[in-house]
């Protein structure tokens, strides 16, 4: 994501058709999100001068939820379902959600012609993103990043 934001920021003059950019970034460790968030926000701010930029971050480290979320209090006469807990935004930055992105739900909100989907991540995440993007006629570019 950072390389794409950097490219847009430095080449915005030669990208006249680019109007909107939505980034979805999933990381297993919120510390990684926190570490790179300043860099991401810096490039996004530069890009936002010419392009509408939206960033949604996903913390997929589910064990962390038990450490940071207060114990849920059920409403009078009601109960809290486990799904309700995992759909909650995490405390702090409202762009950070817990769990994996729901590509079906997220891509359903994107409209327009010439929509592209750049995907980088583990095979299971790429497969889900490509499946949903292809259903909607988005063009797709996949990359892998492995150590």
15 and 8 in contact (C-beta within 8 Å)? yes
Regarding whether 118 and 83 lie in a shared domain, the answer is no
Q: H-type helices in 1-147, by residue range?
A: 2-11, 30-47, 63-68, 82-86, 103-107, 123-135
Range of the domain at 6: 2-101
pLDDT value of position 77: 56
Q: State how many domains the chain has.
A: 2
User: Does any domain span residue 7?
Assistant: yes
Looking at residue 104, what is its pLDDT?
92
Residues of the chain below pLDDT 50: 63-73, 80-90
Tens-digit pLDDT profile for residues 106-120: 899 888 788 888 888
- What pLDDT score was predicted for residue 90? 45
Model pLDDT, residue 80 = 46
């Amino acid at each position: 994501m950072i390389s794409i934001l950097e490219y847009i920021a430095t080449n915005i003059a030669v990208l006249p058709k680019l109007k909107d950019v939505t980034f979805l970034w999933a990381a297993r460790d919120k510390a990684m999100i926190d570490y790179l968030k300043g860099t991401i926000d810096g490039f996004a701010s530069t890009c936002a001068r010419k392009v509408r930029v939206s960033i949604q971050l996903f913390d997929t480290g589910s064990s962390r939820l038990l450490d940071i979320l207060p114990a849920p209090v059920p409403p009078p006469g009601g109960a809290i379902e486990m799904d309700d807990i995992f759909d909650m935004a995490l405390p702090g930055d409202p762009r950070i959600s817990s769990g994996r992105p729901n590509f079906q739900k997220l891509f359903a909100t994107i409209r327009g012609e010439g929509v592209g989907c750049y995907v980088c991540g583990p095979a299971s995440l790429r497969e889900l993103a490509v499946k949903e993007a292809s259903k909607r006629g988005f063009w797709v570019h996949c990359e892998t990043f492995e150590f």
